[in-house]
């Protein structure tokens, strides 16, 4: 993966052919997306998604399209929403950890001081900024899609920030979960309606379908990385 190689080589910058938003699925990523779609198509009808939302990033749209095909839904069944994009890294985009320390020592110190939850790099976003835009999506779903079974195709920080919102976590709890490891590509975090009818209950997280388990498990570590 590009980030891992850059870190291992001590490089300050990750060399990429595309901007992050335009990075397509690799051959492995496409197989993972197809496997996810096959698994969802095999669920009982009452458990399959009826609404698919996707990040604007190419790889997310390709994953959502693969699921839609497997569910025999038309291509325009996927609703693309810029609020689901990955956290923006601003001036730290494409920099490795060592590159940030060498090039922006004052920003590295600030991040250490305020913590990654609140740290906002120049031109970028903090986790709080991401949570703010996701709150409006939750509101839209509550108003306009009551009863829908919603599939959201996003990214690592998006998954964690939705967990923060839905499970009403605090900073320490969500950062503890983040430290446990990355969300696998095409990993599933699932909620169902709780018995009170007013909240959601976590069913599974970082779930990899049986078909996916036959492939190498990867994460988004090959994307441009700032201080995630």
Q: Write out the chain's pLDDT in tens, 228 residues.
A: 455 544 445 577 877 778 899 999 999 999 999 999 999 999 999 999 999 999 999 999 999 999 999 999 997 899 999 999 999 999 999 999 899 999 999 999 999 999 999 999 999 999 999 999 999 999 999 999 999 999 999 999 999 999 999 999 999 999 999 999 999 999 999 999 999 888 999 999 999 987 766 666 666 543 444 546
Can you give the pLDDT at residue 210? Answer: 78
Check if the beta carbon of residue 156 is closer than 8 Å to that of residue 220.
Answer: yes
- Rounded to whole angstroms, the Cα distance separating 24 from 57 reads 8
Can you give the pLDDT at residue 18? Answer: 82
Q: Where are the domains of the chain?
A: 2-213
Q: What is the CATH number of domain 2-213?
A: 3.40.50.1240
Token duo for residue 179:
């430290």
pTM above 0.85, yes or no: yes
To 5 degrees, how large is the angle CA 84–CA 187–CA 132?
A: 25
Q: How far is C-alpha 65 from the geometric centre of its chain's CA atoms?
A: 16
């Amino acid at each position: 993966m590009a980030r891992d190689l850059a870190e291992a080589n001590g490089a300050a910058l990750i060399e990429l052919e595309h901007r992050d938003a335009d990075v397509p699925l690799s051959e492995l990523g496409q197989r993972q997306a197809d496997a996810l779609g096959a698994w969802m198509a095999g669920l009982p009808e009452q458990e399959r998604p009826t609404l698919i939302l996707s990040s604007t990033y190419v790889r997310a749209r390709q994953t959502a399209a693969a699921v839609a095909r497997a569910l025999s839904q038309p291509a325009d069944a996927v609703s693309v929403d810029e609020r689901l994009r990955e956290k923006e890294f601003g001036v730290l985009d494409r920099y490795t950890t060592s590159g940030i320390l060498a090039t922006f020592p004052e920003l590295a110190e600030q991040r250490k001081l305020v913590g990654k939850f609140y740290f906002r790099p120049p031109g970028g976003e903090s986790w709080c900024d991401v949570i703010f835009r996701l709150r409006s999506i939750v509101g839209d779903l509550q108003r306009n899609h009551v009863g829908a079974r919603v599939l959201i195709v996003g990214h690592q920080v998006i998954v964690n920030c939705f967990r923060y919102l839905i499970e009403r976590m605090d900073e320490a709890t969500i950062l503890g979960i983040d430290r446990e490891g990355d969300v696998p590509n095409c990993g599933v975090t699932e909620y169902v309606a709780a018995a009170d009818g007013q909240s959601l209950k976590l069913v599974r997280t970082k779930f990899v379908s049986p078909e996916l388990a036959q492939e190498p498990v990867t994460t988004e570590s090959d994307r441009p990385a700032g201080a995630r």
